[in-house]
Structure 1
Amino acid sequence: MLVVALLVSIIALLIGSLTFFHRASTPPITSATPGATASIAPAAILEKSIAVLPFENLSNEKENAYFADGVQDEILTGLARVADLKVISRTSTMQYKVGAERNVRDIAKALGVAHVLEGSVQRAGSRVRVNAQLIDARTDNHLWAERYDRDVADVFAIESEVAGKIVAQLQAKISPSEKAEIEKAPTNDVAAFNLYAHAKTLNENALLRETVKDYFEAVRLLDEAVERDPSFFLAYYQLARAHDAIYQTGNDHTPARLALADAAIQSLRRLRPDAGETHLALARHLYWGYLDYEHARQELSVAQQALPNNSEAFLFAAYIDRRQGRWEDSTRNFEHASELDPRNAAILRQLSLSYENLRRYADTIAVLDRALTVAPNDISLRTQRARIALRSHADAKPLHTTIQTIVTENPNAAPVVAGEWLLLALYERDAAAAQRALAAMPPDGCYDASIPFPNTWCEGMIARLSGDQKAARDAFTKARTELEKMVRDQPDYAEALCALGVVDAALGNKEDAIREGRRAVELMPVSKNAIEGSLLIKYLAAIYAWTGEKDRALEQLDKAVHLPCYLSYGELRLHPIWDPLRGDSRFEKIVASLAPK
């Protein structure tokens, strides 16, 4: 699952950002496949563009920090509803907490906006003071500033007034419906708003912290918020988001959890059936909870119209487009999501993975370099950047150097890079290095994307590389036992059938291997799933190759190289899995078709 892959990559990002302080040196790579562009030009800065930076919390009680964040977020959310404005997403702006290093001009340049809104919030008892100032970041001119001293119950009116003043200052067109949304108070209960603001922060940070704890804590806070105010629409929106995330990430993948998300969705539809958030929450729910792509797409189309600056509405569209093989649409949606949320490294990584599937390596590099400016110490980004030379030019040196540097910097990082490390060792025919990588491999670390190869499969590949046929057979037999149980429990699990077919091919079980590989492709064709579908075709080619069916292997391989997928020039040149085809002129022609031009 690509969404699961997104979760794993962000968790890996956290590990990297906390542990390492030196970016590995990798040689620049500028070559690309035909049709790829050399770089991605930055979007022009629009006059009516703005970033709402985190407001400083001046309250004595530090627990009011969530209240200050909530004030900033509500102003941002109000502005984001205006289609005539470009408003940067909260994920990117929250990286610029108040501090001496906060340079407005530099921040605006990094976020691609012309204007910045700064402010502060001070709450004392039943009173609240909000200061806000609008700055033209190109000239450092202060265009507007105002201070509000009011009862804390009036804070929502302050938020609406500030948003309205900004719209007027930027001379943005605003429709009656957009104006009505800005003026609508999220709740009349300040305590419920505090709970909501805290929970929203937990939801958005959950992937970068203790995922389970944060999501469940968000649910607890939101349940309390809607108990205080049963008509608190945005609290139900965050509640649906938390329940769906808990379900989708596998922390509680039960019908009961899905029913809780269903209940929150029904509350949204009851309170405000036409709101953009209702359509976005339903789209997320249909995708994560039911894999219902078409209905999710319909809901996203409505959400994008109502929430033109919401990066998530375009991000989920990109996921669905990619899974359905609409690569150009997917890329466009990823790029648009990144424009709205330019400091979100996870979006950039997903965009880079799309370019990598399309073999647009120069674009992959350009996006990864952007991501590395956001998260320069991220392990996943560093290794992915280095492996482009391997995929595009069959040059293993940059990845070899990068992995060696990462493991030297911190040996505890070995499990994070073990998958790339082992694959590299196989490419380099270095059995000793492969054994070291396997020793560091976490459970399920031998998976190839969604193909669930057990670690014993990797053990067998290493033994085979070492020339120990008995050890290889023993390991493959263990792998077969694991996969056979998986398929017995889930007979229509295409990826497991594929892995079982590959293992059977390695064991010489020709008829079983071919039957399993073909069944996997039938269960999940490219027309149904462009990501896993192309991967299954690649492995069907490998099954045919390992069972002596060269003609069939080359037929499937020719299909695979004409599809967007991870199959690359470097893999065909170096991976031992293709050794049975080496020396055949037809195979060499296929390899040459992916060679750098």
Structure 2
Amino acid sequence: MGKSIAVLPFENLSEEKANAYFADGIQDEILTKLAGIGDLKVISRSSTAKYKSKPEDLKTVAHELGVATVLEGTVQKAGNRARVNVQLLDARVDTHLWAKSYDRDLKDVFAVESEVAQEVADTLRAKLSPSQTDALATAPTRDTEAYDLFLKGENEEHQAESALSAEAFDRAAMFYQQALARDPKFALAYARLAYSELYRHWFISNLTSAELAEVKSNIERALAIAPASPDAHLALALFYYWGYRDYDAGLRELDQALELQPSSSNSRNYRASIYRRRGEWQRALAEFDRAAELDPRDPLNPYDMGVTYLSLRRWSDAEHAFTRALALNLHYALAAQDLALTYINSTGDIRRARRAFEGVPAESKVSDASDWGSIAVMIDHRVYLDVFEKHFADALKAWDTPPSNTPEARLRHLEARIGIQVLAGQGAVAKSECEQTHALLESRLAERPEDRISLTALAWVYVCLGRNADAVRVARQAADLLPIEKDALSGPFLLSGLAEIE
């Protein structure tokens, strides 16, 4: 296992339990500093977050994470003081290597994070370059209030990414912006704000060109303040990749991010994703595998491998990967959806496909905003199983109410109901909903003319309204926006959507 470490969640000992975000933030910053040391293998936060602060069976935890050492800690925040206790353990024999307590003013908490990271590196005899030594000592901001707001933003961001919640993304952005209002030179807050907005753009609702330009300006501010910020280079990589599918520019920035933070599983996962969209399937699988070594308990990595196998029609490998993802998180809706899709495409076994969703709440509606095209995605894959068996009333009942009260959710609700009724041959019954949705989509496309999700939905609205030529025209327009040559993963979905309309 060599020089390897997992930083387990720090226990919050503060009287105010709402201060848990502060303990999480201290742990996260120490982990991030260690991840910048090329001589160390550092396990990602998304894997370590699955464990308790002080697990009873340390050897098993270390084995599951693939590390030799573990850092445990507690944090107690009271007024303007913070007490941080840390201990480094050799998990193979469950013995202490080093332990220390820090009782400091909040304004000195950055020094504590740097000192802990440096002590760990020294104890593990990790070799550091001069730039890595400088990075360990660098504080993200000197304003303790700005840092506190930033940590609240990070807490909301983790929840937003887990639940794909527009409301949580809004709260994260609010805290990041408040932190920047306190400290306009807070490079990390600019970078994380940009990352959050790009994540929302890709998975929930596309940004306009003007909004993307604002995201780019935040990244440029971050890089102007901190040219060696791995988070800023990662955000810029996603701006190129998720914003404009400029794969070459995205890969260049990911290379830079990995040079600055070698243990970043995120950067490796995104690099694998770009290889996949370029049709470099084996290269993608190898890179996803490397990401999984740094993040062995995150279901995203086996899920992404499953999506790759699914695209290659390697049904057995896909089933194994999605089953692994669900073993790590029984409620992982995207993994359940694609496991069901694997069963439908390989054997047509609808009963088995239904069983794939057993751990996913019935009210959960899942879609990946980047991969629309087929009507099954518009309706929701689980609901589409009812359509397969011509249980149209059950399918409509699943969409009785919108999943939330956001404009995006209300529009999605209308689109799904229209799709179901058209497939049921009840387009005339849905005419008023179709006319309402037509107006909403036309308005949205006026702002976002290349929004493939809206174009796909509009094609089905035209079918509902009996405007078949217009339906084929806009479905072809959506497919032409993203040909297979430009995106080997999503391009086929849009061609499939065109075929369904035709």
Amino acid aligned to 1:139: V
1:52 aligns with 2:52: no
Superposed CA offset, 1:228-271 (max 9, x none): 33333222222323344455556694566445433422321221
- Do the aligned residues in 1 keep the contact of 2:459 with 2:472 (CA within 8 Å)? yes
Structure exhibiting the larger radius of gyration computed from Cα positions: 1
1:366 aligns with 2:366: no
Cα gap change, 1:135/1:537 in structure 2, threshold over 3 Å: closer, same or farther?
Answer: same
Structure 1 CA distance for aligned equivalents of residues 122 and 441 of structure 2: 61
1:298 aligns with 2:248: no
Structure 1 residues 153-168: aligned runs within 5 Å:
153-168=107-122
Q: Which residue of 2 aligns with 1:561?
A: none
Q: 1:90 aligns with which of 22, 45, 50?
A: 45
Structure 1 CA distance for aligned equivalents of residues 70 and 217 of structure 2: 38
Amino acid aligned to 2:90: D
- Do the aligned residues in 1 keep the contact of 2:330 with 2:359 (CA within 8 Å)? no
Matched residue SS, 2:75: strand
Q: 1:78 aligns with which of 29, 33, 41?
A: 33
Shift of 1:393: 2.4
Q: Which residue of 1 aligns with 2:409?
A: none
Structure 1 CA distance for aligned equivalents of residues 473 and 205 of structure 2: 34
Structure 1 CA distance for aligned equivalents of residues 200 and 495 of structure 2: 32
Cα gap change, 1:120/1:247 in structure 2, threshold over 3 Å: closer, same or farther?
Answer: same
Unaligned runs of 5+ in 1: 1-45, 464-470, 547-597
Unaligned runs of 5+ in 2: 368-375, 404-411
Shift of 1:134: 1.3
Q: What is the Cα-based RMSD across aligned positions, in Å?
A: 4.0
- Do the aligned residues in 1 keep the contact of 2:418 with 2:460 (CA within 8 Å)? no
Q: Which residue of 1 aligns with 2:394?
A: 436
Shift of 1:137: 1.7
Structure 2 CA distance for aligned equivalents of residues 331 and 533 of structure 1: 19
- Do the aligned residues in 2 keep the contact of 1:480 with 1:504 (CA within 8 Å)? no
Aligned-pair identity in percent equals 37
- Do the aligned residues in 1 keep the contact of 2:387 with 2:420 (CA within 8 Å)? no
Superposed CA offset, 1:520-540 (max 9, x none): 554432111223322344455
- Do the aligned residues in 2 keep the contact of 1:460 with 1:476 (CA within 8 Å)? no
Matched residue SS, 1:531: coil
Structure 2 CA distance for aligned equivalents of residues 249 and 390 of structure 1: 24
1:461 aligns with 2:416: no
Relative to the length of structure 1, the TM-score reads 0.68
Considering Cα pairs closer than 8 Å and 6+ residues apart, tell me whether 1 or 2 has the greater RCO. Answer: 1
Cα gap change, 1:495/1:204 in structure 2, threshold over 3 Å: closer, same or farther?
Answer: closer
Q: Which residue of 1 aligns with 2:380?
A: 419
- Do the aligned residues in 1 keep the contact of 2:418 with 2:427 (CA within 8 Å)? no
Structure 2 CA distance for aligned equivalents of residues 256 and 508 of structure 1: 35
Cα gap change, 1:213/1:455 in structure 2, threshold over 3 Å: closer, same or farther?
Answer: closer
- Do the aligned residues in 1 keep the contact of 2:383 with 2:398 (CA within 8 Å)? no
Structure 2 CA distance for aligned equivalents of residues 536 and 127 of structure 1: 56
Structure 2 CA distance for aligned equivalents of residues 66 and 395 of structure 1: 44
Shift of 1:303: 1.1
1:109 aligns with 2:71: no
Superposed CA offset, 1:289-324 (max 9, x none): 444333222211211211111222123223333333
| Higher mean C-alpha displacement, 264-273 vs 174-183 | 264-273
- Do the aligned residues in 2 keep the contact of 1:133 with 1:145 (CA within 8 Å)? yes
- Do the aligned residues in 2 keep the contact of 1:435 with 1:462 (CA within 8 Å)? no
Q: 2:188 aligns with which of 228, 234, 249?
A: 234
Structure 1 CA distance for aligned equivalents of residues 208 and 461 of structure 2: 31
Structure 1 CA distance for aligned equivalents of residues 256 and 239 of structure 2: 15
- Do the aligned residues in 1 keep the contact of 2:430 with 2:464 (CA within 8 Å)? no
Amino acid aligned to 1:460: V
Shift of 1:82: 0.8
Structure 1 CA distance for aligned equivalents of residues 21 and 432 of structure 2: 55
Cα gap change, 1:480/1:330 in structure 2, threshold over 3 Å: closer, same or farther?
Answer: farther
| Higher mean C-alpha displacement, 219-228 vs 276-285 | 219-228
Matched residue SS, 2:157: helix
Q: Which residue of 1 aligns with 2:216?
A: 262
Structure 2 CA distance for aligned equivalents of residues 126 and 479 of structure 1: 58
Shift of 1:68: 2.4
